[in-house]
Amino acid sequence: ASQTSSAEPVIASTVTGGAGLTGSTCFQQFRLISDEAISSIEVLGANSALAEVSGGKSSFITQSSGIFSFTTTGIYWIMLNADSSYDNDAEWQKLFIHSSTNSGTDYTEIAQAKYARVFETGSEGFAQGSLNTLLAVTNASTQRIKFQAQASASSNFAGSSTVNRTYMTFLRIGS
């Protein structure tokens, strides 16, 4: 990507190649700022704080207790990256993205990733997983997203106030 004289990355202002995709690219990113313990299936950010890391041309995503709302319709690329540790009993972890079109009354799974033990030292293991999806937000007042994690045994999803460890990224790629 080309850069401006101040070495700031340039973000493309339009999207090409997709039927009906027009508009500015905007982005927002949120991260867990403290570790979150998962023992079954949990909404990431429901029991620990989330902080907005960066914003693009406008703030178009809001969140409360791990539930994300949109202020603008459009096509979004939604990503979750998770850094975790687990005890010796955990064999796998899953990540989910769920979407609601009725203000969070009902959710539908729109993306899932499952990963097994990756690196283990003694009785503790470490893993990193990610998943992403494209979502057409047609009604910003009722569309919601939540990110969930599940583990076969006790796990911790890493948070940090200074570094992205477990984080969510929203890119608005078109209208």
- pLDDT given for residue 127 in this prediction: 81
- Output the average pLDDT for the chain: 81
- Element of type H or E holding 170: strand 167-174
How far is CA 90 from each of CA 4, 154, 166, rounded to the nearest angstrom?
47, 7, 19
Below-50 pLDDT ranges, the chain:
1-21
Which pLDDT does position 123 carry in this prediction? 66
H or E element: which one contains 167? strand 167-174
List, in sequence order, every beta strand (DSSP E) within 4-116. 26-32, 36-38, 41-43, 50-55, 61-64, 67-70, 74-87, 92-100, 108-116
Strand partners, 145: 68, 99
- The pLDDT value recorded for residue 11 is 31
pLDDT digits (tens, 9 = 90+) for 40-65: 888 988 877 888 886 555 678 999 99
How much is the pLDDT for 154? 83
d(CA 39, CA 42): 8
